[in-house]
Amino acid sequence: MDEKGAREERQVLEAISYEEKRRYFRIDDHIMLKYRVIPSNEVQAVSDRLRAPLPNAFSLSSDFAELKQESALLQRSVENSSPAVAQYISMLDKKLDMIAKVLLVQNMGADEHLWRKVNLGAGGMAFDSHVEIPVSSVLEVKMGLLPSHAGLITIGKVIRCQKRREGSGYNVAICFLHVRDSDRELLVQHVLWRQAQMLRESRQADLKN
């Protein structure tokens, strides 16, 4: 992305309040997705595990993504006054990206069938399923986001499961019951980044026509 495009995206993001970001913004996206129905007698144990302060290999990938965001801000603040420092930060950023990618693949796998089209927001998501998942079922959901390679894990509750109008299978909607604060912020930033990217691509397409 060029400097002008990056500046335009930052302006779009800054113009939107945090509550608007969380409440209204949803995007269609392709992400890595794994989920499983949690038996009722395991819900509390899974919830406690996600709330545990000790990091695991999966949460580390989202921690690296958070560090990348912070380093990007630092890089922009020093790139004019200290080009050498900015270049060093850029090198560290690339290393963080490589580590995050390895951690994500290790925990999610490299199966192409993991890539799913979803409708995603900070409060929940919708996706297609080959099988019916009863409403009120509680799911453990793992997501891999690009280009940050952030791995997020959450607990979601099924609020809708309807047969698709076209083809076989079902469309499932869930609301997130538990997300780490840092993961929710990454999710918000990812949704906004994709929204800004789509707006920029739309403007570029209009200019070509």
Q: Answer whether residue 88 is part of any domain.
A: no
pTM of the model: 0.71
Residue 183, domain CATH: 2.40.10.220
Kindly state whether residue 103 falls inside one of the protein's structural domains.
Answer: no
Cα angle 193, 186, 158 (rounded to 5 degrees) comes to: 100
Radius of gyration from C-alpha coordinates of the chain = 19
Q: Indicate whether 154 belongs to any domain.
A: yes
State the residue range of the domain holding 145.
Answer: 3-54+111-208
As for how many domains the chain has, the answer is: 1
Tokens read off for 67 = 């560090």
Number of C-beta neighbours around residue 107 at 10 A: 19
Residue 97 included in any domain: no
Domain-embedded: residue 28: yes
75 domain-assigned: no
pLDDT truncated to tens, each residue of the chain (209 aa)?
Answer: 445 555 555 555 555 454 455 455 788 999 999 999 999 999 999 988 888 765 566 666 667 666 766 777 777 777 777 888 878 777 877 777 777 777 777 777 767 678 899 999 988 999 999 999 999 999 999 998 888 788 888 999 999 999 998 878 999 999 999 888 878 888 888 888 888 888 888 788 777 76
Q: Is 90 domain-assigned? A: no
